[in-house]
Structure 1
Amino acid sequence: MISNARLLIVEDEEIVAFDIETTLRILGYEVVGIVTTGEEAIATAAQTKPDLILMDIRLPGKLDGVEAAKEISQRLNIPVVYLTAHADQPTLDRAKITAPFGYLLKPFQEDELQTTIEIALSRHQSEERMRLALAKEKELNQLKTQFIAITSHEFRTPLTTISSSNDLLERYCRDSMDAKKQKHLRQIKLSVNQMIQLLDDVLLIGRAESGKVEIQPIPIDLVEFCHNLVEEIQTNAGEEYQIIFNHQGEVSEACLDVNLLRHIISNLLANAVKYSPEGGVVTFNLFGGDTSVTFQIQDSGIGIPPEAQKHLFESFHRASNVGTIKGTGLGLSIVKRCVDIHGGEISVDSEVNVGTTFTVTLPIVLMVDG
């Protein structure tokens, strides 16, 4: 039993109230008061802060038990158990709206009352622990998002300085530039760009986790959009890779979020190239439908071990077989969050040393002439 629980009785029949009070004291509970109206129940509950209220439904005054319980639940967060002689459907329907912690019909036995009270107290404690945990998690997420934003800003300032200095060095050393200097300056520029991309990725994940990324769909020609991304990735990949783009169905007038879509496709294509270290063919298929569009990207690379597939979309997670292939473990985490924000689905089919296929399906809005 939850010891020293403090209970408030709301009952307009004096004999019944006295009987309930006697029973509660025998069971070891503390009775903080007995009131007869809904208005008194609210006032006394606010003053005494009981652990539980035993509430009759039919009460004199402007507020009956259901109305009083609703007010108490909203203002004071105190659990209510109804003790009533009424079990008709309209009364039950009204009572259910207030989400009571119990509904006990009079007359009731002592063990029934104790069981109902204990279950109600236990449930309320569990819900309070969950509420506090969620509030704490929300607070931590807000702090994490704030920290990420501040850190990102603080890192960008020196990175901008480094990038500007590198540009100046290229300009001043133009007449005396040799292959060795070019290599070092190019490496500096590449490293700065990688750091900026990492900051952007971490910031995006932080904003997505805190719910600050909203979908903003606009009309888009998907075929042209995908062609442009393929050309961009192909240029960076080199001649040892071939990215083949195919499309089926009507997709020229779909509404999607361009930024989210760019993150999804560019990350999946870049990964398909990155994890096919020996070169080869990457196939990118686009399928248009009436209410959705599907993107499928297939490679013949190193594949993903089964044990790693369980953690595939976790931030900073990398499979055990990536070896010396560089990466942060953020790409697929970003893809998953962008797909979720868009209300879509993503699946993976992969076998080690055979290849990997990612399939993304996103809902679309078709533009209608009007």
Structure 2
Amino acid sequence: MENAKNILIVEDELIVAEDIADTLRSLGYGVVGIVSTGEKALQKISQTSPSLVLMDIMLKGDMDGIETTEKLRQQSDVPVVYLTANADDKTVQRATATEPYGYLVKPIEEKELKRTIEIALRRYQAEQKIKQQAKEAEEERHRKNRYLSMASHEFRTPLTTILMSSQLLQQYEQKLTPEKKQRHFERIQNAITSMNTMLEDILTLGRAESGKISFSPGAINVVEFCQELLEAITQSTGRNHSLNLEISGEFSGAIMDEKLLYHILTNLLGNAVKYSPEKTKIILEVVRCENEVSFCVQDQGIGIPPEDVLKLFEAFHRAQNVGEIAGTGLGLAIVKRSVDLHKGVIEVTSKVGVGTRFTVKLPFQSPLS
């Protein structure tokens, strides 16, 4: 049978237990053991983690089968099927309260044993699936609430800027010089851009964490991709820095997800520009090392305090030394998720006041989906 299941037999009549064990083996099930008391049953379950327990109700010793199952429920949700020769109404009520997955009346017929076990295991699998779905739904709800809470907090600053500048423009339009008016318009535009960037980052990170972001590797010209990316960043935000590309190795045949690689490098290079003094050098070093490609971004910026490195890839976390430098604290979280989807690794070394070096190692050829 598919994925043979291991079963524990809890039965104090050895001849009956051995007969059940032989029948189970002939049906393709494994038997992890035969025990005769509730105490031994709990110990054996913790040691072997069986797929199902056949539990005699009328066990000898300090605990009967029902008490044993009650204790078992405190430590495990392994399914239990009761074995009984006869039972009064009170015993049946006690047994039912422990929510067993079935009953078998002794002497047990092979067909009935097989049918009861199959039904119990299928019911258990269905319940586990429902529990997992409920857990994932709850995690998704908590994740959305967390993002909503964080986003509402982060949106307050740009919204306040927009509100204050628009009020000043409205109330003092005649008194403001053209230069001051222009300054307020620029503040409004910058605040809107910041909010739009933050919203895009939140959506991207949310999709990544919920498994809804696609991983679509394909052939990529690594050198050309990095050249164009570095040129675009230089033209947009890096005009006051020296951005350099250093290439080493042969890259023909590389297979990666171009969109995710874009997220990785734009965030790392963007941070390098943002947190580095003007006129300083920023290096993107790309090296082919056998079956992987190493992308290193080195800057001469403010660096990252050691206590912040451990939380660097958490959403909305920003190092304590960033001061008034704008940012959402989402970029590195997106980088980490994008690297993980490639099954790559990311490393960081940094010294405050000296600079930071991020190293991303990705497989040279990611499996095509």
SS in structure 2 at match of 1:308 = helix
SS in structure 2 at match of 1:30 = helix
Percent identical: 41
> Shift of the alpha carbon at 1:282?
0.5
Q: Give the match for residue 138 of structure 1.
A: 137
SS in structure 1 at match of 2:111 = coil
Contact 2:238 2:273 in 1 (8 A): no
Contact 1:223 1:252 in 2 (8 A): no
Contact 1:294 1:361 in 2 (8 A): yes
Q: Tell me whether 1:284 sits opposite 2:284 in the alignment.
A: yes
SS in structure 2 at match of 1:263 = helix
> Shift of the alpha carbon at 1:243?
0.7
Contact 1:280 1:300 in 2 (8 A): yes
Q: Give the match for residue 193 of structure 1.
A: 193
Amino acid at match of 1:306: P
Q: Tell me whether 1:60 sits opposite 2:109 in the alignment.
A: yes
RMSD of Structure 2 on Structure 1 (CA): 4.4
> Shift of the alpha carbon at 1:48?
3.4
Aligned length: 279
Return 5+ residue gaps in structure 1 as ranges.
1-8, 37-43, 79-127, 167-176
> Shift of the alpha carbon at 1:206?
1.0
Q: Deviations over 1:270-311 (max 9, x none)?
A: 111111135400011011244321100001111111111111
Q: Give the match for residue 232 of structure 2.
A: 232
Contact 1:10 1:35 in 2 (8 A): no
Amino acid at match of 1:60: E
Normalising by structure 1, report the TM-score: 0.62
Q: Give the match for residue 83 of structure 1.
A: none
SS in structure 1 at match of 2:110 = coil
How far apart, in 1, do the equivalents of 2:196 and 2:292 lie?
33
Q: Deviations over 1:239-269 (max 9, x none)?
A: 4310110111122442221211111000000
Q: Tell me whether 1:314 sits opposite 2:308 in the alignment.
A: no
Q: Give the match for residue 23 of structure 1.
A: 59
Q: Give the match for residue 48 of structure 1.
A: 96
Q: Deviations over 1:78-102 (max 9, x none)?
A: 9xxxxxxxxxxxxxxxxxxxxxxxx
How far apart, in 2, do the equivalents of 1:306 and 1:70 lie?
55
Contact 1:269 1:297 in 2 (8 A): yes
Q: Deviations over 1:116-166 (max 9, x none)?
A: xxxxxxxxxxxx9xx9698445324146449969x99xx9xxx9xx9xxx9
How far apart, in 2, do the equivalents of 1:326 and 1:148 lie?
19
Q: Give the match for residue 362 of structure 1.
A: 362
SS in structure 2 at match of 1:365 = coil
How far apart, in 2, do the equivalents of 1:215 and 1:300 lie?
33
Contact 1:296 1:358 in 2 (8 A): yes
How far apart, in 2, do the equivalents of 1:75 and 1:366 lie?
39
Decide whether aligned partners of structure 1 residues 49 and 247 sit closer, same or farther in structure 2, where only a CA change above 3 A counts: farther
Return 5+ residue gaps in structure 2 as ranges.
1-8, 18-35, 38-55, 70-81, 86-91, 167-176
Decide whether aligned partners of structure 1 residues 253 and 22 sit closer, same or farther in structure 2, where only a CA change above 3 A counts: closer
